Amino acid sequence: MAERRIAAVGSPDLPWRLRGRRMRLWAWGARLGWAWLYYGAQAFGAGAWEDRFVWVFGWNLERPEDVPRVVEVLQTAGRHGFNGAVVSFGLDTLCRKTPAFFERLQLVQQVCATNGLELIPAVFSVGYGGGFLAHDRNLAEGLPVSNALFRVEGGVGRFVPEDVECLRNGGFEEHRGNRFEHFAFHDQPGEVSFADTNVFHGGGVSLRLENFRANPHGHGRVMQEIRVRPHRCYRVSLWVRTEELDPPAAFRCLVLAGDRELAPRTFRVPGTGQWRQIRFLFNSLEYDRVRVYAGVWGGRSGRVWIDDWSVEEAGPVNVLHRPGTPVVVRSEADGRVYEEGRDYAPLVNTDFNPWRDDGAEAELKLPPGSRIHEGERLRVSWYHPMLIHESQVTVCMAEPRLDEILDHEARLLAERLKPRRVLLNMDEVRMGGTCAACAGRDMARLLGECVQREVAALRRYLPDVQVYVWSDMFDPHHNAHANYYLVRGDFTGSWRHLPRDVVMAVWGGKPRPESLAFFAREGFPMLVACYYDADDLEDVAGWLKAAQGLPRVRGFMYTPWTRKYELLPEFARLLGFAGGGSAGGVRNNPR
C-alpha cells in the first residue's frame, strides 16, 4: 500500500518541481497521521491493552537448532512490553512428544517467566488437522466415491476405470498453426500461446506460453471442458517446464465446476526448471462436466511449456475407515451388498497418507468362503480425504472420536503447562458436510458446537482458562458464509453458537474495520491479530485506528507467518506498550 501511494504522488507524468512538492506534502501528512496514532496509543498507555501478545510460529521444539531463535524472539518481546507469547509448538499432541521436547519446552517456559511473558498454547485445529490426525489419520474429512467398477480376477477385486483419456489432445499434437483442437480456449494464439515443435516432452509438439504482458491480466491459460461421472475420483497429470517465469507462483492448475473449485491446490514450480510432472486428484462431487485449466495467472515475464496432459478416473487411494466413512461393496448384477470380513478383506491402502495422493490403489482381497465369485463385476463406494493447497487436511467435526482426543490432550495440557489462556486454532475449515457423519448437518451449528466441545474439554481441567479463537470462521465479512472451498453447507450464523466469553482473535493483513465493528455489536471481546509480514506497519496503524472507540478490544498481537520479527520493537512503540522505546529487534532469519 505504501509503495502504491509513493508511486502515485511521485508519478513521472508530473513536473519534477510539483512532484517533489507533492512528495513532501505526502510525507508530512504521513508523519502527522502516524504521530496522531502513536500519541493516541500512548494516551491509552500499556495498561489500556490487557493483551500485548506476540505470535511465535514456524519453529519446532523437536529441532534443537530452533530453540535459540525462539528464545531471541521471547527476549525481544519481553524488553518491549509484551506480556504474552502465543506459541504453535504442537501442544495438542503432548502424548507423542519426546523427553527432549519437554526439556526444551521447560526452557521456553523459563524464558517466558524471566521476561514477563505468559506462555499461551495454540491448539486443536480442525481446518489444519495435524494434531487430531496424529492420533488417527482416518479422522480426515472425506469426499464420497459412489459405485466405482471393480472386476474380480484371481481372487482379487481390482478397480476398472470407466473414464479413460477424458481430456482430448493433451499432447497438443492436433493443431493448426498456433491453434489447438478440442480446447475451449487458450489465450491469444500466436501472441501468448504457441505450438512449439522444438521443445516438447512427448510426441513432437508442446504448448508454449509467454509474452504475458500482452494480456491485460497477465494471463496465459488453456482450458478444456470434459465429461465426468458424478461422485467419482479423477487423477490429473501434466508435464511442465519453465524458463525465467516471474513470478513462479503465477503457474496454476485448476478444476472448476459451476462456481466451485474442485481441486484447490498449490504447486511450486521453479522460475527456471526442466520438465517435471504435476499429479493430483479431484472428486467430481455432483457434477457431470468440469473445466480443467493450466497456465499462468498474473505473469510478468518468462515462458512455460505444457505437455502430455491427461485426466482419467482413479481408483481407491487413501480410503478412510471410520464410522462416518463406510465402504460398501455391491454386486453389479443383483445389487447384493457384501459383508466386510466375510466376503472381502478391508479395502486398505498400505501406504495411506492424507498428505500424499500419489499412492497405490487398494484392492479387494477375497477370503476363503467369500460369496463373491470369479469374474464378478462389483460396484464399490468409499470416501477419501482431499489435500488443499500444499499441506492442508481438514478433520471431520462430527466424529465422536474427537471428544476422546480433546479430553486426553486437555488433561495433558493442564498437567504440563497449566495455562491461563489458550488460543483455539479453528481457522480456515475448508471441508465438511460431505461424509456420512456430517452430511446434512447445519455446518454453522456444527462448527460452533465443535468449539463448545473444545472449550468444555479445556475447562474440565482448567476451570478458569480464558479461551481465544481465530475469528474468520465466525465472521460474515471473512469466511463465515456458504460455498467456502469444498464445504457442503453454510457457515453463516456460526457465531451464534459460541460462548460469549470467547475472545475473537480478529486477523488479517489489511485492516478489517467491518469485522471489528461486527464483533463489537455481537458482544465478543476482541484481540487484534495483525501485521502479517509486511515491510512496514502501515496496516497495523490502520488496525489501531479501526479499533479506537470500540468496546471490548483487549489488545493486539504481532502476527507474522514467515518468522519476520524485526519490526517487533516498532510494533510495541506504535501501540504504546511499556518498554516500547527500547532498541534492538530480532534479526529476520527465514530458516
DSSP letters along 473-492, please? Answer: GG-TTTT-SBS-TT-SSB-T
The pTM assigned to this predicted structure is 0.89
- Over range 177-196, report the average pLDDT: 98
Whether residue 589 has pLDDT greater than 90:
no
Instruction: Judge if 470 and 583 occupy the same domain.
Output: no
- Four-residue CA torsion sign, 46, 48, 53, 54: negative
Instruction: Judge if 216 and 302 occupy the same domain.
Output: yes
Instruction: Judge if 195 and 85 occupy the same domain.
Output: no
On whether residue 330 sits in a domain, the answer given is no
Instruction: Judge if 180 and 273 occupy the same domain.
Output: yes
Percent of the chain with pLDDT over 90: 88
Cell 526452557 maps to which residue?
A: 107
The predicted pLDDT at position 2 comes to 33
| 446-475 confidence digits (pLDDT tens) | 999 999 999 999 999 999 999 999 999 999
| 457, 408 contact by CB (below 8 A) | no
| 395-413 confidence digits (pLDDT tens) | 999 999 999 999 999 999 9
| 290, 226 contact by CB (below 8 A) | yes
Instruction: Judge if 431 and 487 occupy the same domain.
Output: yes
- Kindly list the distances between the CA atom of residue 520 and the CA atoms of 128, 371, 503, 511, 553, in Å, as whole numbers in the listed order: 28, 63, 11, 15, 8
On whether residue 383 sits in a domain, the answer given is no
| 322-352 confidence digits (pLDDT tens) | 999 999 999 999 999 999 999 999 999 999 9
- Over range 488-511, report the average pLDDT: 97
CATH of the domain at 193: 2.60.120.260
- Over range 250-271, report the average pLDDT: 97
The predicted pLDDT at position 317 comes to 98
Q: Beta 526-531 vs 421-424: how paired, if at all?
A: unpaired
Specify the number of domains making up the chain.
Answer: 4
On whether residue 384 sits in a domain, the answer given is no
Whether residue 441 has pLDDT greater than 80:
yes
How far is the C-alpha of 467 from the C-alpha of 458, rounded, in Å?
A: 9
Instruction: Judge if 20 and 75 occupy the same domain.
Output: no
The 8-class DSSP code of residue 344 comes to: B
The predicted pLDDT at position 48 comes to 76
Name the least confident of 17-21, 66-70, 582-586. Answer: 17-21
On whether residue 381 sits in a domain, the answer given is no
How far is the C-alpha of 283 from the C-alpha of 290, rounded, in Å?
A: 10
Buried b (16+ CB within 10 A) or exposed e, 433-455: bbbbbbeebbbbebbbbbbebbb
Of 273, 298, 313, the last residue of a domain is 313
The predicted pLDDT at position 163 comes to 86
Instruction: Judge if 230 and 297 occupy the same domain.
Output: yes
Instruction: Judge if 183 and 277 occupy the same domain.
Output: yes
Number of C-beta neighbours around residue 71 at 10 A = 17
The predicted pLDDT at position 5 comes to 27
Q: Find how far residue 588's CA is from the centre of its chain.
A: 24
How far is the C-alpha of 426 from the C-alpha of 423, rounded, in Å?
A: 9
| 16-32 confidence digits (pLDDT tens) | 333 343 333 334 344 44
Of 313, 348, 369, the last residue of a domain is 313
How far is the C-alpha of 485 from the C-alpha of 262, rounded, in Å?
A: 8
Question: Where do the DSSP E strands lie in 1-142?
Answer: 51-56, 84-87, 118-123
- Over range 217-228, report the average pLDDT: 98
Instruction: Judge if 535 and 478 occupy the same domain.
Output: no
Whether residue 198 has pLDDT greater than 90:
yes
| 558, 81 contact by CB (below 8 A) | no
- Read off the pLDDT band of 584 (50, 70, 90): very low
- Four-residue CA torsion sign, 53, 56, 514, 442: negative
Instruction: Judge if 4 and 86 occupy the same domain.
Output: no
Q: Closest Cα partner for 380 from 341, 331, 416?
A: 331
- Read off the pLDDT band of 579 (50, 70, 90): low
Instruction: Judge if 4 and 78 occupy the same domain.
Output: no
Classified as helix, coil or strand, 190 is coil
CATH of the domain at 68: 3.40.1280
Percent of the chain with pLDDT over 70: 90
Of 499, 517, 537, the last residue of a domain is 499
Instruction: Judge if 431 and 467 occupy the same domain.
Output: yes
Name the least confident of 31-40, 77-86, 300-309. Answer: 31-40
Provide the residue range defining the domain that includes 448: 124-142+391-499
On whether residue 518 sits in a domain, the answer given is no
Q: What is the mean pLDDT of the chain?
A: 92
- Read off the pLDDT band of 92 (50, 70, 90): very high
